[in-house]
Amino acid sequence: MFGTVGEVITNILLELGPMGMILIAVLDSSLLSIPEINDVIVVTRILHRPVEVLYWPLLAAIGSALGCLLLYTLARKGGETFLRRRFSAERVNRVEQFYARYGVLALLIPALCPPPTPFKIFVATAGALRYPRAKFVLTILLARSARYYTEGILTLLYGRAVLQYMREHWGMIILGIGTVALIGSGIVCARKIRRQGPGPAESGSRNAPSPSAHHKHQRA
């Protein structure tokens, strides 16, 4: 499934155990691109060692977050020039519009979705746009942890069929994740609006004395 070079690198690094998993995820999320490598390793590892579902997904998530941070940093320093060199202007403009319209969801949803969902362009664009670094890392770490732990639990239940299902139904998976994320975002926004209460103009109009009260005060 992977190229010869990718297989060699993967096999060598896996000999290092947990540290190898982190390094593979770092490389895949930054300099290299080996489709599904993290998902395959997580599923295969848990398939043979079920107890590792407790921490192996977290190792993949940490490595992925570190790799994304490296790409983010390069794009933050290189700016638009870095982006235009790696991606077409049309794709960059489209992703920038996603960030302007959806904010954190433009990063969260691709991070949650399995391959072949485009992801690195969202990471690089976040760097070029100078998206807050701490918020960026936290979003990637939480999204990838949710993804890999979900895969790990499903592997315990259904075995290797999980990977095949992801490959065949990735479109439906993306749609489902996107729908849940949008609904969650709407609920959060609604709660924020309720907490803020009425605006200054509305509260001012409530506190202002009525005309009848004003006239009574003048007569007194």
CB neighbourhood size of 142 (10 A)? 15
Examine residue 215 and state whether it is found in any structural domain, yes or no: no
Angle ∠(24,120,97) on CA atoms, nearest 5 = 160
d(CA 71, CA 42): 23
Q: What is the pLDDT of residue 68?
A: 95
Examine residue 201 and state whether it is found in any structural domain, yes or no: no
Examine residue 135 and state whether it is found in any structural domain, yes or no: yes
Fill in the DSSP letter of residue 15: T
Task: Indicate the pTM of the whole model.
Answer: 0.74
Task: For residue 74, give the 3-state DSSP assignment.
Answer: helix
Task: For residue 194, give the 3-state DSSP assignment.
Answer: helix
Examine residue 60 and state whether it is found in any structural domain, yes or no: yes
Q: Is 212 a residue whose pLDDT tops 60? A: no
d(CA 86, CA 173): 27
Q: Is 70 a residue whose pLDDT tops 60? A: yes
Examine residue 214 and state whether it is found in any structural domain, yes or no: no
Residue 25 sits in which domain range?
4-196
Examine residue 22 and state whether it is found in any structural domain, yes or no: yes
CB 135 within 8 A of CB 108: no
Contacts 24+ apart (CB under 8 A), 172-181: 173/113, 173/114, 174/109, 174/113, 174/117, 177/109, 177/112, 177/113, 178/109, 181/105, 181/108, 181/109, 181/112
Examine residue 202 and state whether it is found in any structural domain, yes or no: no
d(CA 78, CA 85): 10
Cβ neighbourhood burial of 106 (10 Å; 0-12, 13-18, 19+): buried
Give pLDDT tens digits for 112-152: 887 777 899 999 999 999 999 999 999 999 999 998 998 88
Q: Is 92 a residue whose pLDDT tops 60? A: yes
Give pLDDT tens digits for 177-202: 656 666 766 676 677 677 776 554 44
Examine residue 219 and state whether it is found in any structural domain, yes or no: no
d(CA 178, CA 115): 15
CB neighbourhood size of 113 (10 A)? 22
Please tell me the total count of domains within the chain. 1
For 129, list phi and psi in degrees, rounded to 5. Answer: -85, 0
CB 123 within 8 A of CB 72: yes
